[in-house]
Amino acid sequence: MSTEENKALLRRLFEEVWNQGNLATLHEVLAADFLYHPDLRGLEAYKQAIKLNLTAFPDLHFTIEDMLAEGDRVVTRWTLRGTHQGPFQDIPPTGKPVTVTGISIFRVANGKGVEVWTDADYLGMLQQLGVVPAPGQTS
């Protein structure tokens, strides 16, 4: 696949799966043995993680800020926004909005995403939810 085809493939993951909740698209864009580094292995495990996130943040929406591709890699800089309306990990719903920024690096092989490395501001999200004090705040 060309770099433009790889980018279009990963755009579908963000738009159709995450933003629209169409989990059936996962099987079209990711390999069955998909690896979310470091330790989430397999498409079904990733699907369960998506379901948990969409339950916690039913209005979750990813905005793709930048997408670059070279060879078999696609780098996506994104912003996630949503409202905490369901349980998230051990955190009961707070009703608070969150904005999280991150970068994901995908590897594509045989027309599907096969692995991803993601770095995101999860600490900032926990601060927005009020679970972790922000700098300068007291607990």
DSSP state of 130: T
pLDDT in tens, 87-99: 999 999 999 999 9
Domains in the chain, CATH or no CATH each: 3-128 (3.10.450.50)
Residue 139 predicted with pLDDT over 70: no
Nearest in space to 56 (alpha carbons), one of 18, 20, 92, 22: 92
How much is the average pLDDT of 17-30?
97
Residue 137 predicted with pLDDT over 90: no
pLDDT in tens, 36-88: 999 999 999 999 999 999 999 999 999 999 999 999 999 999 999 999 999 99
Q: How confident is the model at residue 136 (pLDDT cuts 50, 70, 90)?
A: confident
How much is the average pLDDT of 132-137?
86
Residue 1 predicted with pLDDT over 90: no
| 0.85 surpassed by pTM | yes
Question: Are the C-beta atoms of residues 14 and 62 closer than 8 Å to each other?
Answer: yes
Distance of CA 14 to CAs 10, 46, 89, 112, 128, Å?
A: 7, 13, 22, 14, 23
| Residue 72 or residue 1, greater confidence | 72
Across the chain, mean pLDDT equals 96
